[in-house]
């Protein structure tokens, strides 16, 4: 009898459990096994009792997710949470001095007009201001070079020829009338195709967006318009800002056409390196200015996070994206930054701090750190980097050994992945991510998918560790005015993109294969003028930045 009572109680319990839990045991609903599998993905374990308690709340949360996904969120909508790169006690620069660039008043036209392709912004500006050449002539010159060499390099997504010639003629009229706007007046340039330009496609380098058109210009484009610069091309980028592969192919390195130009500012670096443009805008989240500038042998400036408005730019990572410039010389980078920095009342992450630069700065007064362990390790650019350090010492600079804070920043790298997955959430859910060219493991479609499994708790805690990193960097930067680092070796590239610090990347020689090498100069927050001054000093005493690829021999 006792045996039958036990069987009856077990059956009754199973019936009751089935009634209570049946909504959660259906294949489309959440059950204990669902929680077990999900918990394994995040390295946690729960008891059966804990899992049973969670079931109803998890099912309810899934319904809330469905509700959220019904809300239209295009890429331009930022989260209501902002990253703050300023350490505790940070004193914002207040003094705004006169920005002083090198004088190029004695520049004359070259006998061979093709040599204009390698002139700096300052040199071209002197020619335009003295009316030795018109902006329209210069604009047509660079448009023709873009048309001639793009079939080899695949660096152009769209020429803005009509707009360019209109702006060039306007510049010529103003200059003839004595209304000179400054060093960028009449200077042609290009932008990475994640920046919107009214009336032209903004493709983000990705097939799902190849016909996308916005009805307004990005803030940086507006600011360059105000400076009188002439936009002539929208330049290629790795699809959705990764690599050098886009829907039109792979952008090439002018020094070796068999290689890609690296990314994601692939077209910007390739075009400047090949003398197709005097300068171009790029962006960096984790190396997208440093890497292609290195590969293509040009000079790049990644400004402080919060220095330049990102209004009108594709968002990849709201807490890491930065707009910068790719040029021939360090001082050219300062000339462009001087035109594009500062708030626009739209991008709420931008700080209203002055930009100071003086070409006559005595850089020997600076205490300059260098990452001793990184420079002494075994890596590809070691020989040229060692020679660069030796050159700076020979020139009288005060170099002191230092090391970065002991924080494993690779553990924080998923911050970018989480934000990128959110930025392109609808692309993933729609299945249109299948249209992207690259579908391998190490490409956006897969990253967007697996990043859906990053817990919000871990994302927030990663940013708490990031806070500690910012404080540690503030203490370190109190000991030096700036520091030198290998471009790729070690953790500096990821660390400074997480902390928001600025850097200049500049060429310092060539590999045995004949391709360029580089190193970086890293500065305090909002002190781009200091690192540009040191970079300019190095370039005054070397000629690596003056080398250019023999395109017609390729």
288 is catalytic: yes
- Where are the alpha helices (H) located in 251-371, listed in sequence order? 266-273, 290-296, 330-340
CA distances from 298 to 96, 291, 515 (A): 29, 10, 12
Encoded tokens for 166: 């209109």
Closest CA to 301 of 511, 499, 535, 138: 535
Structure tokens at 74: 């295009």
Give the single-character DSSP code of 5: H
C-alpha pair distances (Å), 62 with each of 27, 234, 454:
14, 41, 16
Residue 55 corresponds to which tokens in the numbers above?
């079931």
553 flagged as catalytic? no
Pick from 141, 140, 110, 112: which is nearest to 126 by CA?
110
Distances (CA, A) of 404 to 151, 183, 410, 495, 524: 43, 37, 14, 9, 14
Angle at 275 between CA 270 and CA 277, to 5 degrees: 80
Catalytic residue among 288, 309, 487, 499: 288
Beta strand ranges found along 164-254 (DSSP E)? 188-192, 230-235, 245-246, 249-250, 252-253
Q: Which of 289, 294, 290, 285 is nearest to 253 (CA)?
A: 294
Q: How far apart are CA 349 and CA 93, in angstroms?
A: 17
Taking alpha carbons only, the member of 515, 551, 540 closest to residue 262 is 515
* Annotated active-site residue in 51, 120, 135, 192: 192
Q: Which of 264, 265, 291, 293 is catalytic?
A: 264
Catalytic residue annotation:
192, 264, 288
């Amino acid at each position: 009898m006792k045996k039958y009572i036990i069987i009856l109680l077990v059956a009754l319990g199973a019936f009751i459990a089935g009634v209570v839990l049946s909504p959660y045991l259906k294949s489309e609903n959440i059950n204990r096994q669902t929680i077990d599998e999900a918990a394994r993905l995040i390295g946690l374990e729960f008891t059966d009792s804990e899992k049973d308690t969670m079931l109803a709340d998890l099912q309810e949360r899934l319904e809330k997710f469905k509700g959220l996904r019904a809300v239209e969120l295009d890429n331009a909508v930022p989260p209501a949470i902002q990253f703050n790169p300023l350490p505790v006690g940070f004193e914002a620069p207040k003094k705004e001095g006169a920005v002083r660039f090198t004088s190029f008043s004695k520049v004359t036209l070259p006998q061979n007009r093709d040599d204009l392709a390698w002139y700096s912004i300052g040199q071209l500006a002197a020619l335009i201001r003295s009316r030795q050449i018109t902006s329209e002539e210069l604009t047509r010159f660079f448009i023709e070079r873009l048309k001639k060499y793009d079939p080899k390099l695949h660096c152009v997504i769209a020429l803005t020829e009509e707009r360019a010639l209109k702006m060039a003629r306007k510049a010529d009229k103003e200059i003839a009338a004595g209304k000179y706007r400054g060093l960028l007046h009449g200077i042609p340039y290009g932008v990475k195709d994640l920046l919107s330009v009214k009336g032209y496609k903004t493709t983000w380098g990705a097939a799902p967006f190849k016909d996308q058109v916005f009805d307004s210009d990005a803030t940086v484009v507006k600011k360059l318009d105000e400076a009188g610069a002439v936009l002539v091309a929208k330049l290629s980028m790795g699809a959705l800002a990764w690599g050098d592969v886009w829907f039109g192919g792979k952008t090439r390195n002018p020094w070796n056409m068999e290689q890609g130009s690296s990314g994601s500012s692939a077209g910007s670096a390739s075009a400047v390196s090949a003398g197709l443009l005097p300068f171009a805008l790029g962006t960096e989240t984790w190396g997208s200015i440093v890497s292609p500038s290195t590969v293509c042998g040009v000079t790049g400036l990644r400004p402080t996070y919060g220095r330049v408005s990102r209004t009108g730019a594709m968002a990849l990572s709201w807490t890491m994206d930065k707009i910068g410039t790719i040029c021939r010389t360090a001082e050219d980078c300062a000339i462009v930054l001087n035109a594009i920095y500062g708030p626009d009342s739209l991008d709420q992450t931008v700080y209203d701090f002055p930009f100071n630069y003086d070409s006559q700065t005595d850089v020997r007064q600076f205490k300059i750190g260098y990452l001793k362990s990184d420079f002494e390790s075994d890596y590809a650019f070691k020989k040229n980097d060692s020679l660069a350090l030796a050159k700076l010492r020979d020139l009288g600079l005060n170099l002191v050994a230092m090391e970065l804070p002991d924080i494993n920043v690779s553990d924080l790298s998923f911050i970018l992945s989480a934000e990128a997955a959110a930025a392109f959430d609808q692309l993933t859910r729609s299945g249109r991510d299948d249209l992207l060219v690259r579908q391998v493991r190490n490409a956006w479609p897969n990253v967007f998918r697996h990043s859906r499994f990053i817990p919000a708790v871990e994302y927030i805690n990663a940013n708490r560790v990031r806070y500690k990193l910012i404080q540690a960097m503030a203490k370190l930067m109190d000991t030096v005015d700036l520091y030198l680092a290998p471009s790729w070796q070690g953790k500096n590239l990821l660390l400074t993109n997480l902390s928001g610090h600025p850097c200049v990347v500049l060429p310092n020689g060539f590999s045995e294969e004949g391709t360029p090498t580089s190193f970086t100069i890293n500065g305090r927050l909002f002190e781009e003028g200091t690192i540009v001054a040191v970079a300019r000093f190095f370039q005054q005493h070397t000629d690596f930045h003056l080398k250019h690829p023999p395109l017609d021999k390729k």
